[in-house]
Amino acid sequence: MFSKIAFSVLVLTSSLLVLHILSFNTNYAFADFNFPAVGDWGCNSNTQKTVNNINSKGPERVLALGDYSYQDTATCWLNLVDDFDSRMRIAIGNHEDDDDEGYQQYKSHFNLGNPYYSFNYNNVHFVVMDTDRTSFSSGSSQYNFVKNDLQSAKANSNIKWIIVYLHKPMYTSPNSCSSSGCTNGGSTATSLRNTYHAMFDQNNVDVVLQGHVHDAQRTYPIKYSGGSTPTKTSSATTDYNDPQGEVFAVVGTGGINFHALSGKPSWVKFQQDDDFGILDIKITNNGYKLEGRYWTNSGSQLDKFTITKTGTASYSFGPSLTLSGESAQPTGVNSGQTNGQNNNDNNDNIDNGKHLGLEKGQGKGLHCEHFTQQGPLRCRD
């Protein structure tokens, strides 16, 4: 991100060799880059449209929010996402957290050690949490990892944005899913926000992405309040200037079915339960602006928000050093360049079934969390 460029210039005078050393720091200009996010996919024609939607955005990374094939293997879903799976970073959901649901296949394919981890892309730090396979309680290995990782990211001057994503939500609007993991007052959401939301506030997390509930939602910037109703820190509808708290989004619209919304809390700005689609997040303005857009699979933009942070390119010129001596033959100009960017994702600037659900919401209103692709109806948290 930041580059220090040093120039050594030999200047020949009539009797003296004068060496001027000039050095300055500058910011490389970032090209815009983006990363679509979505969960709760399935293996059906709607899923294929989600894949096409993602491909049309030319993503540098794809953030997968859990619940993929809904089968006992990952194969059908991996075949669908083959175009960009090398750019995909997955969170584990409750439909692949057991060994009889293909957990080891997902883990092997995406080269996961623990199902919680972090990575960087340019000036964005991503933290991927696991709500289903391992403990996330206070004092657990995952808790200690997230705490230490966020503190390191906050202290890293190369990091401008911090994004956390996980499968089960910390906050959600009321909906028709009867699983406790789908409700704002359920034990999972309560435990997650009581354990982590204040931590996110303290470590400058910007956006939290969630799945599990099969609709799309986006909050105003919110801070932890100690209860199920967070503190809204801005009443602006779309554009925020480095607000306190985080924007939380549910993007459970990958293609499996819908959970009908049955209310809208005051801290939720946008929600819909009719159209499958993705949340595409783009970093613009030389890395200082985050733009989030919800795109349906038919190409309509239903929501947009922006977060802007301050900062400009700065130039600091180093001292000039003059050396005196006898005349010498000029040797020209010698330049050197170092790039101090720290990137934990291998300096990622180069990256290169059966039909389930109908496009307009089959499954809406059902008192069950999910369908399965094969076999009987399956309801579990």
pLDDT in tens, the chain (381 residues): 444 444 343 343 444 444 444 444 445 567 999 999 999 999 999 999 999 999 999 999 999 999 999 999 999 999 999 999 999 999 999 999 999 999 999 999 999 999 999 999 999 999 999 999 999 999 999 999 999 999 999 999 999 999 999 999 999 999 999 888 999 999 999 999 999 999 999 999 999 999 999 999 999 999 999 999 999 999 999 999 999 999 999 999 999 999 999 999 999 999 999 999 999 999 999 999 999 999 999 999 999 999 999 975 433 334 433 333 333 333 333 333 223 333 345 334 333 322 333 344 334 444 343 433 333 333 333
Tell me, what's the pLDDT at 331? 33
Tokens of 301: 């933009």
Q: CATH 3.60.21.10 occupies which residues in the chain?
A: 33-308
Contact call for residues 12 and 226 (beta carbons, < 8 A): no
Radius of gyration over alpha carbons of the chain, in Å? 24
Contact call for residues 228 and 24 (beta carbons, < 8 A): no
In this prediction the pTM is 0.79
- DSSP lists the bridge partners of residue 187 as none
Contact call for residues 251 and 216 (beta carbons, < 8 A): yes
CA distance 233 to 256: 34
Answer positive or negative: Cα dihedral of 175, 181, 186, 188.
Answer: negative
Tell me, what's the pLDDT at 28? 54
Tokens of 296: 């349906």
3-state percent helix, strand, coil for the chain, nearest multiple of 5: 20, 30, 50
Dihedrals φ, ψ of 303, to 5°? -150, 150
Tell me, what's the pLDDT at 226? 95
Q: First vs last Cα of the chain: how many Å apart?
A: 42
User: How far lies 143's CA from each of 129, 135, 150, in Å?
Assistant: 9, 8, 11
Architecture of domain 33-308: 4-Layer Sandwich (3.60)
Spell out the residues 6+ positions from residue 217 whose beta carbon is closer than 8 angstroms to its own. 172, 173, 248, 249, 250, 268, 270, 271
Q: How many CB atoms lie under 10 A from the CB of residue 49?
A: 18
User: How far lies 20's CA from each of 36, 129, 240, 319, in Å?
Assistant: 48, 52, 46, 9
Tokens of 12: 């020949």
Tokens of 56: 């049309």
